[in-house]
Amino acid sequence: MQMNWQDIADSVASLWQTELYKAGDTPIYLSQVIIALTLIMIGFVVVRWVGARLVKRALRSSGASENTVFAFRRLISFVAYVMIVLIALPIAGIPITIFAVLGGALAIGVGFGAQNLLNNLISGIILIAERPIRIGDIVELEKERGRVEEIGNRCVRIRRYDGVHVLVPNSYFLEQRVVNWTLVSADIRSVVSVGVAYGSPVETVRDLLRQAAEEHEQISTDYPIEVIFEDFGDSSLLFNLYFWTSVHQPMDIRRIQSDVRFKVNALFDEHNIVIAFPQRDIHLDTSKPLEIHLKEPSA
């Protein structure tokens, strides 16, 4: 069977000129939609590529912060995307007035199918404008704690201290309770608790705890280091050591607390101060003779 190339060409041309929709008296053809989508996709790729290069150059050459550059990029990209759509449609022969015809149907679709998407999109704009969180901030969400790496159109990407990434919807940061450790300052107060045995010289314990904090290079000297004799516990005398440190990574506080505990343990060993452990006293009722049973061990 001989292939008729002319028939194939005619079929492709007919498909290419298939009418998809009619906006008033203006027909919209498949060819126009394909051309418009191709131009829009190419434009979006170019904007993202140029935006990424400009951000890297701005961070290297200017003194602007990462958050300022990121917000500026988001604004410019949004304007560029709108301009690309407005330019691509007329080039493809699609009148912009089609949006007025499709506006009612689009509004219904958005109302029912894109509520969460629009909510997160608007929330992302508010987060960039009001800046309750910024790139680089350390935040705590319920049991999740990590550093903000990106504020996207739909969600915020957070990297936990164990390296796992968590994606949180933008609206969460406006509707739920969020702890931002570094919103105003990176200086965070921390505490190390220790219990010593009864009979220990409490003044010496206080001095050694303060010494352990003062000798750590990452503990700030701009704030006072305080040792609080917290309470008389069941098995120990309870002390709390309070100090301030600058936090740049989610694990910074835990590392510094660990260093301080190592130092405290070494100082206590040097001065023969015992770190208490749970103890219980057992009292036998001797108001009447105790009954004792002896049992021979089995062979």
Mind listing the pLDDT tens digit for each residue in 51-92? 777 766 766 666 656 666 676 777 777 778 888 888 887 877
Does 241 fall in a domain? yes
**Whole-angstrom Cα distance, residue 249 to residue 221?**
20
Does 1 fall in a domain? no
Does 121 fall in a domain? no
- pLDDT higher than threshold 60 for residue 107: no
Does 213 fall in a domain? yes
- pLDDT higher than threshold 70 for residue 24: no
Q: Give yes or no: residues 191 and 169 share one domain.
A: no
Q: Give yes or no: residues 24 and 109 share one domain.
A: yes
Q: Give yes or no: residues 176 and 205 share one domain.
A: no
Helix (H) or strand (E) holding 205: helix 202-214
User: Which CATH number goes with the domain that contains 206?
Assistant: 3.30.70.100
Higher pLDDT, 41 or 90: 41
Q: Which residues pair with 22 in a beta bridge?
A: 27
Q: Give yes or no: residues 163 and 237 share one domain.
A: no
Q: Which residues pair with 26 in a beta bridge?
A: 23
Position 194 confidence tier, pLDDT thresholds 50, 70, 90:
very high
Q: Give yes or no: residues 71 and 34 share one domain.
A: yes
Does 103 fall in a domain? yes
One-character DSSP codes across 13-34: HHHHT-EEEEETTEEEEHHHHH
User: Which CATH number goes with the domain that contains 34?
Assistant: 1.10.287
Q: Could you give phi then psi for residue 253, rounded to 5 degrees?
A: -65, -45
Q: Give yes or no: residues 73 and 24 share one domain.
A: yes
* Number of folded domains that form the chain: 3
Comparing CA positions, the residue from 273, 132, 118 lying closest to residue 206 is 273
Q: Give yes or no: residues 229 and 164 share one domain.
A: no
Q: Are 88 and 96 in contact (CB under 8 A)?
A: no
Arithmetic mean of pLDDT over the chain: 80
pLDDT digits (tens, 9 = 90+) for 127-184: 877 888 888 888 888 878 888 888 887 889 998 878 888 999 988 988 888 888 888 7
- pLDDT higher than threshold 70 for residue 243: yes
Q: Give yes or no: residues 198 and 151 share one domain.
A: no
Does 290 fall in a domain? no
Of 81, 113, 145, the domain-final residue: 113
Q: Give yes or no: residues 174 and 219 share one domain.
A: no
Does 291 fall in a domain? no
Helices (H) and strands (E) in the chain, counts: 8, 10
Does 276 fall in a domain? no
Task: Give the neighbor-by-neighbor strand order of the sheet with 165-169.
Answer: 165-169, 155-160, 144-151, 138-141, 179-180
User: Which CATH number goes with the domain that contains 148?
Assistant: 2.30.30.60
Q: Give yes or no: residues 259 and 244 share one domain.
A: yes
Higher pLDDT, 138 or 18: 138
Q: Are 156 and 174 in contact (CB under 8 A)?
A: no
- Find all residues with CB under 8 Å of 227, minimum gap 6, and list them: 206, 209, 210, 239, 240, 241, 242
- Find all residues with CB under 8 Å of 237, minimum gap 6, and list them: 195, 196, 197, 198, 200, 202, 205, 229, 276
Q: What pLDDT sits at residue 46?
A: 86
pLDDT digits (tens, 9 = 90+) for 197-234: 998 999 999 999 999 999 999 998 888 999 999 999 88
Q: Give yes or no: residues 73 and 92 share one domain.
A: yes
Q: Are 18 and 30 in contact (CB under 8 A)?
A: yes
Q: What domain range is 247 assigned to?
A: 187-270
Per-residue b or e along 122-136, where b marks 16 or more CB atoms closer than 10 Å to that residue's CB:
ebbbebbeeeebbbe
Which one-letter amino acid corresponds to residue 275? I
Q: Give yes or no: residues 50 and 109 share one domain.
A: yes
Position 192 confidence tier, pLDDT thresholds 50, 70, 90:
very high
